[in-house]
Amino acid sequence: MSTLFTRRKVLTGMGLLGLGLLSGCDTSPKLNFKYGKDLSDKIMGRTFRLKNTEGESVTLSSYRGLMPVVFFGFAQCPAVCPTTLARMAQAKKMMGRDGKIMQVIFITLDPERDTPEVLDAYVKAFDPSFQALYGTPEEIAVAAKEFGIFYEKIPTGDSYTLSHTATSFVFDTRGNLRLGLSASLNAKECAEDLLTVMEVC
**Model pLDDT, residue 6:** 53
**Model pLDDT, residue 201:** 62
pTM over 0.75: yes
Q: Which of 195, 191, 192 is nearest to 92 (CA)?
A: 191
**Model pLDDT, residue 17:** 36
**Model pLDDT, residue 31:** 76
**Model pLDDT, residue 18:** 39
**Model pLDDT, residue 200:** 75
**Model pLDDT, residue 25:** 52
Spatial separation of the C-alpha atoms in residues 153 and 96, rounded to whole Å: 38
pLDDT digit string, tens, across residues 56-111: 999 999 999 999 999 999 999 999 999 999 999 999 999 999 999 999 999 999 99
Q: Which of 7, 168, 4, 155 is nearest to 73 (CA)?
A: 168
CB 107 within 8 A of CB 132: yes
What are the structural domains of the chain? 35-198 (3.40.30.10)
Q: Which of 148, 162, 116 is nearest to 135 (CA)?
A: 116
Spatial separation of the C-alpha atoms in residues 176 and 109, rounded to whole Å: 23
**Model pLDDT, residue 19:** 40
| Ranges under pLDDT 70 in the chain | 1-29, 201
